[in-house]
């Protein structure tokens, strides 16, 4: 709900201006930015195909995700820019996420669970009319393809990716540039997206050495779903040419 009001406020503010401010300089044709991102939350569904709803909806929550990215933009005309960005997102943390058969029977063990996701995003931006010579404000939206893996490690065992479903999504973006010079700016951004990646992973061995004991895995493959559902905040430097 807050997101809807946020975008509505931007649209209403734009309507207050009948044209672009006099004397405003337009972007150069190209810009390349190097950025650092903070995403608030993500989750991994550990049994997304389970027929039991409680198990199917059970998720391992993750917070405070940092990632680098690069963004190339091209000015189509005075108002519209087209951007292509790539990001590398990786997050791993420990959790009691695996039930195994050990020397004392069935037990739950701590594992390092996480993900590696590389989004390729194509975004169209609109330069808002209340932008000035120093401050450029944009809003936009687009489509994305997501490539990713589930990461898991415990004892002497790691998993490898066996299969990944084609994953795509959409994003909504609010972006701004503070022009230090005609060639350099500080860029801030806020992005909303909600991609889901379904992957099938495989253990190398079903018998694993864990804390000096041998445990047996119930199956050598498993399915999971990665969902990056948090808001992403971006800070970077953009070079205009």
Helix (H/G/I), strand (E/B), else coil: 53: helix
Q: Where are the domains of the chain?
A: 28-240
Half-sphere exposure of 100 (CA within 13 A, CB side): 21
What Cα–Cα distance (Å) separates residue 182 from each residue in 80, 128, 133? 18, 19, 10
What Cα–Cα distance (Å) separates residue 143 from each residue in 93, 159, 168, 184, 211? 29, 30, 7, 27, 45
| pLDDT tens per residue, range 94-120 | 999 888 876 667 878 889 999 999 999
Fold of 28-240: Porin (2.40.160)
| Residue 178 and residue 135 in contact, taking contact as beta carbons nearer than 8 Å | yes
- The mean pLDDT value of the chain amounts to 89
Q: Which is it for strands 135-154 and 167-179: parallel, antiparallel or unpaired?
A: antiparallel
Query: Given this model, what pLDDT does residue 157 score?
Result: 85
Beta strands in the chain (DSSP E): 30-45, 59-75, 80-87, 89-102, 105-127, 135-154, 157-164, 167-179, 184-193, 196-203, 207-210, 213-216, 221-227, 232-240
Q: pLDDT by residue for the chain (241 residues), tens digit each?
A: 445 445 544 544 444 444 444 445 667 899 999 999 999 999 999 999 999 999 899 999 999 999 999 999 999 999 999 999 999 999 999 999 888 876 667 878 889 999 999 999 999 999 999 999 999 999 999 999 999 999 999 888 889 999 999 999 999 999 999 999 999 999 999 999 999 999 999 988 888 888 777 888 888 899 999 999 999 999 999 999 9
| pLDDT tens per residue, range 126-155 | 999 999 999 999 999 999 999 999 999 988
End-to-end CA, the chain: 38
Of the candidates 30, 60, 33, the residue with the CA atom closest to the CA atom of residue 44: 60
| Residue 171 and residue 192 in contact, taking contact as beta carbons nearer than 8 Å | yes
Query: Given this model, what pLDDT does residue 79 score?
Result: 94
């Amino acid at each position: 709900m807050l997101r809807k009001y946020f975008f509505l406020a931007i649209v209403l503010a734009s309507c207050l201006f009948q044209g672009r401010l006099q004397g405003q300089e337009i972007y150069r044709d190209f810009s390349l930015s190097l950025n650092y991102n903070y995403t608030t939350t993500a989750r991994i569904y550990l049994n997304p195909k389970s027929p039991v709803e409680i198990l199917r909806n059970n998720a391992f929550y993750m917070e405070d995700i940092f990632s680098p990215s690069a963004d190339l933009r091209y000015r189509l005309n005075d108002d519209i820019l087209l951007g292509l960005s790539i990001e590398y997102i990786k997050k791993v943390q420990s959790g009691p996420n695996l039930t195994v058969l050990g020397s004392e029977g069935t037990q739950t063990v701590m594992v390092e669970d996480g993900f590696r996701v590389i989004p390729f995003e194509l975004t169209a931006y609109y330069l808002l009319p209340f932008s000035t010579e120093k401050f450029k404000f944009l809003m936009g939206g687009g489509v994305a393809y997501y490539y990713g893996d589930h990461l898991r490690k415990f004892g002497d065992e790691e998993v490898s990716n066996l299969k990944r479903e084609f994953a795509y999504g959409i994003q909504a973006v609010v972006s701004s540039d503070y022009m230090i010079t005609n060639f350099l700016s500080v860029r801030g951004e806020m992005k909303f997206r909600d991609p889901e990646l379904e992957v099938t992973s495989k253990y190398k061995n079903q018998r694993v050495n864990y804390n000096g004991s041998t445990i047996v895995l119930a199956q050598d493959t498993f399915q999971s779903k990665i969902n990056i559902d948090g808001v992403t905040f971006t800070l970077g430097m953009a070079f205009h040419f």
